[in-house]
Amino acid sequence: MAFTNNIMIVRHKLLADLVRLWKNDQLVEKIDRLPIELSPRKSKPLGRCCVHKERAVWRYKMFPLMGLDMTDEHDEVTPLSEYAQQALSRPEPDKENIMCVIDEACSSCIQINYEITNLCRGCVARSCYMNCPKDAIRFKKNGQAMIDHETCISCGICHKSCPYHAIVYIPVPCEESCPVKAISKDEHGIEHIDESKCIYCGKCMNACPFGAIFEISQTFDVLQRIRKGEKMVAIIAPSILGQFKTSIEQVYGAFKEIGFTDVIEVAEGAMSTTSNEAHELLEKLEKGQSFMTTSCCPSYIELVEKHIPGMKPYVSTTGSPMYYTARIAKEKHPDAKIVFVGPCVAKRKEVRRDEAVDYILTFEEVGSILDGLDIQLEQTQAFSILHTSVREAHGFAQAGGVMGAVKAYLKEEAEKINAIQVSDINKKNIALLRACAKTGKAAGQFIEVMACEGGCITGPSTHNDIVSGRRQLAQELLKRKESYETMDR
């Protein structure tokens, strides 16, 4: 795995260690010692006050990896082994929230957003003091201003009024990354995710420099059912082509080695999405609708539902590739549990809405599972997918892929359709989409919307790094010979 920061290393290593214990039937027996082994008595943790704080962080980071969160702890002296037993014995995942913040890890972040630097000249105007609504400005003996952080409410008025620009704004990384203001500090100074606003884009998770934000994992729910002999079918997103540095057939072989009954490419369902969306687009344009957006990005669907309800009439009613693939899998294996595998946090929400999909694993989790089970990709027996999907269906993994697939499918009919893409749900693009919903007008007749800047291949829960993933995906797509260009509709 091409780790881009230490947070990714920690997350990967911790889950791999837990899976390794599970593999050896020692998860319940040895989990209580794991924080001590990870941070021995004489170790000197960087950024923590002491080894005991570091061990506490290790302990609580195991909760979401076992499908739990901080609210599950009712007594601090309850050993981890009891929570591990709970994770292995529960009949189904039971958490309502998709993501959580680890209090112990979050406590290191700044508590206030503004600070006065030594650029302050102690001016006579004292605009910061005169305009502060909470009287939070104090003065040193030399006349320089300072902020009483116990009183300050981070309104920013002092920052705007300082003529010397001596007051700096210090953003909280997770808050700054969130495009819909769904994360903020509670009364204890700990970040809290408001899931009534959250669109599950995952930006905060990778923005947090302390690794305090986690998805609620279903790793052990899946592994336990495999161990019990239940039939489990993996339906794998197209962006898998850019994740692991070996042949895709060996990657699928690794899923078989994990214990999955069958592997089905979500690209197969993407072909149904392409054809249905293409026909829906033509139909709506013929009826006079000015534009239509795609519907396969679950984070975008959450954005529309929670923040831009006026966009609903313009969103395609076509199902996502996962939706169609799950039904293909259920028809082929009616007695199996279906596990979606992909790079997306928001898919966890879509899975809950789809009765045909039972569980979800991310590519990041799969990487940890392979390490924990000691499965070497280069040594796995290749497994080939019998169904051949067109190149454009695999191209759903990148920005412009859905748009390109629909246009390729429509062939000559696409020449009269102006298609544009909105890749990266940020504040600017949300404003653009809100304007389109309000006016009923857009720069294009067909708009592809993706939460991630480069499409799914740059998702928050990928295994490979963004640059390598994009490059590898592009190389893999070139190998795919089947195309709408050479097919009759």
Local structure of 484: helix, strand or coil: helix
Higher pLDDT, 103 or 43: 103
Q: Which CATH number fits domain 219-477: 3.30.1330.40, 3.40.50.2300, 1.10.3470.10, 3.40.950.10?
A: 3.40.950.10
pLDDT, greater one: 215 or 7: 215
Please write the tens of the pLDDT for every residue from 336-362: 999 999 999 999 999 999 999 999 999
Distance CA 195, CA 172 (A): 19
Q: Which residues are CB-contacts of 384 (< 8 A; sequence separation ≥ 6)? A: 249, 252
- Please give the C-alpha separations between residue 194 and each of 97, 134, 182, 184, 288, in angstroms, as whole numbers: 10, 27, 5, 8, 38
3-state secondary structure of 339: strand
Q: Which residues contact 415 (CB under 8 A, 6 or more apart)?
A: none
Nearest to 294 by CA among 307, 276, 267, 268: 276
Identify the band that residue 458 occupies on the pLDDT scale cut at 50, 70 and 90: very high
Q: Say which range, 30-44, 74-88, 330-344, has the weakest mean pLDDT.
A: 30-44
- Identify the band that residue 6 occupies on the pLDDT scale cut at 50, 70 and 90: low
Please say whether the beta carbons of 198 and 321 come within 8 A: no
CA distances 269 to 273, 287, 350, Å, are 6, 27, 15
d(CA 377, CA 370): 8
Cα 176 to Cα 22, 89, 207: the distances in Å are: 37, 39, 9
* Average confidence (pLDDT) over 164-186: 92
Mean pLDDT on 403-426: 94
Mean pLDDT, rounded, for 204-214? 91
Please give the DSSP secondary-structure letter assigned to residue 480.
Answer: -
Q: Which pair of structure tokens corresponds to residue 375?
A: 């499965």
pLDDT value at 380 more than 60: yes
pLDDT at 199: 98
The secondary structure of residue 264, as a DSSP letter, is E
How far is C-alpha 105 from the geometric centre of its chain's CA atoms?
19
The single residue listed with the structure tokens 């924990």 is 372
Residue 3, pLDDT above cutoff 60: no
Domain ranges of the chain: 4-105+188-215, 112-170, 219-477
CATH code, residues 112-170: 3.30.70.20
Most distant CA pair in the chain: distance in Å?
82
The pLDDT > 70 percentage for the chain reads: 98
Q: Which pLDDT value is given to residue 1?
A: 43
